[in-house]
Amino acid sequence: MITPPLILIGAIIVIALIFDFTNGFHDSANSISTVVSTKVLSPRNAVIFAAFFNFLAAFGFGVAVADTIASIVNLNVVAAIIIPYIVLAALTGAISWNLITWFFGLPTSSSHALIGGLAGAGISAAGIAVIKWSTLGQVTLFMVLSPLIGLTCGFLFMAAILWITRKSNKPTTEGHFKRLQLCSAAAYSFSHGTNDAQKTMGIIVPLLFSIGYYGASANASHLSVPYWVIIICYTTIALGTLAGGWRIVKTMGYKITKLRPVQGFAAETAGAVTILSASAAGIPVSTTHVICASIMGVGVTGGSSTVKWGVARSIIIAWILTIPISALIGFGTFQAIRIIVGS
């Protein structure tokens, strides 16, 4: 392949930021569906609230998740001139799947779409040896574990709240939890930023490495994230959250189970605890999976019939399809690029 010109590198970074924006746009429902459905905040105020705490996560939480994403493709195995094309193909796979699922109102994972796109594009470029399977295996493991943790936490938090407030006056309790839900929504929005904004950083870092940004002696396995990349990525995801994804808000806030402020508080708190723990450990999880599962866990405390399992089943099917379909799109896109650019 020919060496990509700097203008192409710049264009791919812009596309990465478009992915970041669609991530915020697609996942805004994660942060605001519960506070909107319980009428704690209006949709307009909810997105402003969520965007602010998305951006606030830029300061002081580290970049462990970005490091994990940047290490999925072994940069020591592929030629530097191929890296931008791998990233471009991966982003095409991720953005395509984001837009398809947004159109149908399905809250799937932007994270797993990106990971699938990276895996597919990397394999298309240099075979299976280019993928760090230990990292991909960890991500896949937590694709299963994180929703289960979210569901369990949601159930336990809600059960504990019901026991603690069993003798309280219901209207008074609801009033308290309306105020408390602002705290849980803030925590969840913050946690969403700590995990999801870093994924775009993990895509931009290999691009910078491919053009020699880190110098000739840089170790591809230990690349730092420039501060300007951190600020740009957090700003972009916050703007995406401001744009909102109202189709998914409807699914998340109304169709899975009916939520009251106390239930919204339990679901958001469960989601925030799960995601912040994963972010601290450098594990890129699906914030969408986690909050959906947390909502289901909360709903189950009222009996399994309170959860609309048909809707949940459709969401789970979309989750399962995310990595393979985005990987196929990434694989096919890289092959198309190879034909256009030349091998």
Q: Is the pLDDT of residue 192 over 80?
A: yes
Report the pLDDT value the prediction gives residue 272, as an integer from 0 to 100. Answer: 93
Residue-wise pLDDT tens digits, 118-153: 999 999 998 998 898 888 888 888 877 888 899 999
- Is the pLDDT score of 230 beyond 80? yes
Q: What is the pLDDT of residues 50-91, one digit of tens each?
A: 889 989 999 877 899 999 998 888 888 888 889 999 999 999
**Residue 199 C-alpha from the chain's centroid:** 8
pLDDT grade for 34, boundaries at 50, 70 and 90: low
The whole-number pLDDT of residue 228 equals 94
Q: Rounded to an integer, what distance in angstroms lies between the CA atom of residue 336 and that of residue 89?
A: 9
Asked if the model's pLDDT at residue 216 lies above 80, the reply is no
Q: How far apart are CA 343 and CA 330, in angstroms?
A: 17
Higher pLDDT, 37 or 137: 137
* Residue of 219, 336, 341, 193 whose CA lies nearest to 275: 193
- If we measure between CA atoms, which residue out of 229, 177, 257 comes closest to residue 69? 229
Task: Write the pLDDT tens digit of every residue in 15-32.
Answer: 999 888 877 876 666 667
Q: Which two tokens stand for residue 279?
A: 């972010």
Q: Which residue has the higher pLDDT, 333 or 261?
A: 333
- The reported pLDDT for the residue numbered 157 is 93
Instruction: Name the nearest CA neighbour of 146 among 318, 290, 281, 279.
Output: 290
